[in-house]
Structure 1
Amino acid sequence: MFLELIATLFAGVAAAGVVLLLNKVLKGRLPKWFMPVAAGAAMLVATISSEYGWYPRTKNTLPEGMEIVQSVDSKALYRPWTYLRPFTERFVAVDTVSINTHDAQPDMRLADVYFFGRWSPVNKLAVLTDCANGRRAALIDAVTFHDDGTVTGADWVEPESGDPILTSICGG
């Protein structure tokens, strides 16, 4: 966030410098209001570019085996351009390489799910899925795994049909 602020300020200073140079070349023919308007416009363009570039940049840096299963687009009144084209503000990815099963419980799968946010740290959550019954549970301290592969203490959730996390971990 701090680096983006510095980049935005630098864009404004650079635009003002270009207008100053152009005004020198034109021997002062540009109106006085042109420099602050150009600096403000450059800062606005830098901010918008940063907002729309975050998701593709982050997506391209994900390691092999990370599958993006859900994304959330953002629209805001104070960002009127987002009504024309919303930008992705956060997304959920499943680490398909981390999927584990137990020989005695082949329909139960354990995987790491990552939650990415534009201005948030990445959060990791271990998720247990019961593919046969279409349910999932976030693993917390109260969950116990037994030798036969059964699980106790899980707070099971039955999501709607087509849940992207369940679909990704269970394989379709």
Structure 2
Amino acid sequence: MFLELIGTVFAGFAFAGVVMVLNKLTGGRLPKWAAPVAAGVGMIAMTISSEYSWYDRTRGQLPDGLAIVEEIESRAIYRPWTYAVPFVDRFAAIDTVSVRTNESVPDQRLVDLYFFGRWAPVSKLPIAVNCAENSRANLVDGAEFATDGSLTNATWFKAETGDPIIEATCGV
């Protein structure tokens, strides 16, 4: 976040500097407001560029085995250009390398679901997936494992056909 702020300030100085050089080359014919306006345009352009490139940069730095299962696009009234071209500011991924199974319950798998946000720390949610019943459960709300490996006190959610979390987990 701090580096993006520094980059935005430098973009403003660079745009204003280009206008001042152009003003010098044209013999001072540009209006006095051109340099501050150019600085503002440069800072806005840098901010927009940073917003749109965050997802690609973050996705490119993910380790092998993390499969993206959902992308959340952002639209806001104070950023009218996002209605024409929305950008991804949050996404979820599962760690396909760490999918765990138990021989006692072969249709059930445990996996870690990670949530990434533009200005938020990465958070992790362990979930259980039942491949045969096309359902899943969060493992943070009092869920426990019985001695036979089955899940007790878990709230199972029946998923729609083609649920990306279940497909990525059960396809492993």
Normalising by structure 2, we get a TM-score of: 0.94
Q: Which moved more, 1:104-113 or 1:156-165?
A: 156-165
User: What RMSD in Å do the two structures reach over aligned CA positions?
Assistant: 1.4
CA distance in structure 2 between the partners assigned to 1:159 and 1:4 by the alignment: 39
Q: Which structure 2 residues correspond to residues 3-152 of structure 1 after superposition, within 5 A?
A: 3-140=3-140, 142-152=142-152
1:141 Cα deviation (Å)?
A: 6.1
1:75 Cα deviation (Å)?
A: 1.3
1:129 Cα deviation (Å)?
A: 0.7
Partner letter of residue 85 of structure 2?
R
Which 4+ residue blocks in structure 1 deviate beyond 3 angstroms? Answer: none
CA deviation string 1:74-119 (max 9, x = no partner)? 1111111111111011111011001010011110000011011111
1:55 Cα deviation (Å)?
A: 0.3
Partner letter of residue 171 of structure 2?
G
CA distance in structure 2 between the partners assigned to 1:88 and 1:36 by the alignment: 31
1:159 Cα deviation (Å)?
A: 2.2
CA distance in structure 1 between the partners assigned to 2:92 and 2:142 by the alignment: 24
Q: Unaligned regions of 5+ residues in structure 2, if any? A: none
Normalising by structure 1, we get a TM-score of: 0.94
CA distance in structure 2 between the partners assigned to 1:151 and 1:81 by the alignment: 47
1:153 Cα deviation (Å)?
A: 1.6
Identity level (%): 56
CA distance in structure 1 between the partners assigned to 2:171 and 2:138 by the alignment: 18
Secondary structure of 1:39's match? helix
Q: Which moved more, 1:54-63 or 1:157-166?
A: 157-166
